[in-house]
Structure 1
Amino acid sequence: MKIKKAFILLNGSEPSVFPNLSEYDIVCAIDGAYNHFEKNNIFPDLVTGDFDSINTIPNTVEVVNTPDQNYTDFDKALLILKERGYFHIDVYGGSGKEHDHFLGNISTAIQWKNTLKITFFDDFGTYFFIEKSFEINNIKNRTISLIPLPTATNISTKGLKYALKNEDLMFGERIGTRNKASENTVEISFETGNLLIYISNK
């Protein structure tokens, strides 16, 4: 069965380069992110949010108003996509501008990490929560950071310059920033907790 892929643009810093949007089954603008689409004559399939930061609500694409203030616009958009059968979500505009939004987006991603495959992209790198056994290829010499939120236990790595062997990380005590891929393939495993991986673009 073909995996349906969704593209989301959040209202953070706009990417300088977009991916090929035709590769996605649905393209979504979340609230004020539609302003960037409109400015660049890009037409998403879906615009959703509580519309507190959008300049113009479009009338030529699907619009779903989600005014519930108990959840973020990002969280509500993920629920819509999950209900429509999208489980692979690429997110742009998740960082930059107001840092509380960035932290909120990470918090939302933690809540959905067991249900959806969410990957964030920006002009500097890619970041996502990994499963307890993870492998990635073609990344030699790129910076890799391991961020526990709040903890990750019994971490072991292969292919990193500074290897971990059955070690624990805890936010506020010890985290694994600015490591380097010494091999083309990097393997990471851990036992419990949440582990966010950041990979630089170069």
Structure 2
Amino acid sequence: MRDKALLFINGEPPKFFPALDDYGLIACTDGAFHYLKQQNFSLDQLDFISGDFDSHTGSDENVYQEKFILTLDQDKTDFHKALEIILEKGFRTVDVFGASGGEQDHFLGNLTVAYSFKDQLNLKFYDEFSEYYFIPKSFKVNQVKNKMISLYPFPFVENITTKGLNWPLANGNLSITSRIGTRNFAIEDEVSVEYASGDLLFFVGRKEIEYPAIY
């Protein structure tokens, strides 16, 4: 059953596309619509395009008008508004492309939006380098041996214990103001994380590494 949604937003254009047949809904913000056109993406497969459309041409509106959902609320980002529409359409799992790259304040804003939806949606971001997402307090991931793993507290995590990492944690604490857990790597096929409180972003590198690329 195709119960997942695919969303493109206006960051760095994707270097690859997932299998579109895996998704029951495919959407983009109006900014992402521009790069999808340039990359010869099959625009007919889009279910909706959301935004204020202040940068679109008349030809865009004529051809794809039935797919446009106008969202004028300036108190929310286009990403936030697109997620609200996806929720209204009954989807709870969303793969997101185009969240990173470009202007970094947008990237930080996208993470903040993801945080606000973490209890309503299963959101997973993909870019050229990694996939990343908020994880529950008890979590396991498989098939990650020799891949870069980063743990980023949002903004803190208490009593965290990890297994399967080169630099494990045992009832430690992480905080964006003191200690974070970036640039670790998996030495086992399975990595597990347990923590008592806070919120944690989990990054998995797309490629295996041959040596610790830590800095």
- Please give the range of the TM-score, normalised by the shorter of the 2 chains: over 0.9
Between the aligned residues of both structures, percent identity stands at 42
- Structure 1 residues 149, 53: closer, same or farther in 2, change over 3 A? farther
Say whether residues 1:26 and 2:25 are aligned partners.
yes
Partner residue of 1:169? Answer: 174
Say whether residues 1:146 and 2:145 are aligned partners.
no
RMSD between superposed Cα atoms in Å: 1.3
Deviations 1:128-165 (A, max 9, x none): 00011110000001010000011011100010110001
Q: CA deviation at 1:191?
A: 1.1
Say whether residues 1:12 and 2:15 are aligned partners.
no
Checking the alignment, whether the CA contact within 8 Å between 2:2 and 2:22 is kept in structure 1 is: no
Partner residue of 2:116? Answer: 111
In the alignment, the residues of structure 2 paired with residue 45 and residue 96 of structure 1 have an alpha-carbon distance, to the nearest angstrom, of 25
Q: How many residues align?
A: 201
SS at the partner of 1:201? strand
Between 169-178 and 33-42, the greater mean CA deviation after superposition? 33-42
Partner residue of 1:59? Answer: 63
In the alignment, the residues of structure 1 paired with residue 139 and residue 6 of structure 2 have an alpha-carbon distance, to the nearest angstrom, of 23
Normalising by structure 1, we get a TM-score of 0.95
Checking the alignment, whether the CA contact within 8 Å between 2:2 and 2:24 is kept in structure 1 is: no
Q: CA deviation at 1:54?
A: 4.1
- Whichever residue aligns with residue 23 of structure 1, its letter is D
Partner residue of 2:199? Answer: 194
Q: CA deviation at 1:51?
A: 2.0
Partner residue of 2:102? Answer: 97
In the alignment, the residues of structure 2 paired with residue 96 and residue 197 of structure 1 have an alpha-carbon distance, to the nearest angstrom, of 18
5+ unaligned residues in a row in structure 2: which ranges?
208-215
Deviations 1:41-65 (A, max 9, x none): 4211110012234453463352100
The correspondence for 2:48, drawn from 46, 51, 55, is 46
The correspondence for 1:123, drawn from 123, 128, 131, is 128
Checking the alignment, whether the CA contact within 8 Å between 1:144 and 1:177 is kept in structure 2 is: yes
- Structure 1 residues 163, 38: closer, same or farther in 2, change over 3 A? same
SS at the partner of 1:16? coil
SS at the partner of 1:187? strand
In the alignment, the residues of structure 1 paired with residue 28 and residue 171 of structure 2 have an alpha-carbon distance, to the nearest angstrom, of 41
Structure with more helix by fraction: 2
The correspondence for 2:90, drawn from 67, 72, 85, is 85
Deviations 1:103-152 (A, max 9, x none): 10000000010110000000111010001111000000101000001101
Deviations 1:155-202 (A, max 9, x none): 000101100011110002100011110100000011111100111001
- Whichever residue aligns with residue 187 of structure 1, its letter is S
Normalising by structure 2, we get a TM-score of 0.90
